[in-house]
Homo-oligomer: A and B are copies of this chain.
Amino acid sequence: MSGRTSFTPQIDETALRCVAQARILYADTDKMGIVYHASYFRYLELARVEMLRSEGLPYTWMEAEGLALPLTEIGVSFTSPGLYDDRISIHAALSRVTHVRVNFQYRVVVEPGHRAATPNAEAVELLRAETRHCCVRRDSGRPAAMPEALVERLRAIQSLGRASARMPGGPTVAPSEDG
């Protein structure tokens, strides 16, 4: 029936850095006792804005340029259920930067010891995701090319992940607070 066998994004794990942490609330759960799938999307937004902010590029800067980066595609694979009071770490990377498109990749995990319910010796992966965005003008909603300076800054952020991946000891995991 379906021509595709999977929406699981092929994540380049070596490029990911921990860019945000958050605590799962009752607000995020459903009656199955686990995190409702749609609750994760605000955490992915949190990761995007904190990753950019930590590199000196707050999203409000894009807005001030008259630009926005609406989502055009999402692919998510839910690996295991998130639980109430889990302290989640959102690892993310810019995986593609052109003048008109940007892709982010994500991996949400509960690091060892961060599951309140049943202390976990190993990291538990909750999901892998990739989001695709296009650049539009805020006033018209029409596609727009990002200025060269912005593209260069985004590419610098993109290469940070790759650089850390090449460092002995693997990627830098810098726990960053929520907000």
Contacts and interface: CB of A to CB of B under 8 A. Distances in A.
A30 B32 contact: no
Of A22, A103, A179, most buried by chain B (CB within 10 Å of CB) is A179
Looking at chain A, what size class is its interface with the partner chain? 35 or more
Given A38-B38, A60-B84, A70-B78, A27 B7 contact: no
Contact of A45 (B25, B75, B138): B25
Contacts of A1: 12, 15, 95-96, 103
A170 interface: no
A22 to B, nearest CB: 5
Of A6, A75, A84, A116, most buried by chain B (CB within 10 Å of CB) is A75
Interface of A: 1-4, 6-10, 12, 15, 21-23, 25-27, 29-34, 36-38, 41-42, 45-46, 49-50, 58-60, 68, 70-78, 81, 84-85, 87, 95-96, 103, 105, 116-117, 130, 132, 138, 141, 177-179
12 contacts: A2-B9, A2-B103, A7-B7, A7-B130, A7-B132, A26-B30, A27-B30, A34-B70, A58-B116, A72-B77, A81-B141, A87-B179
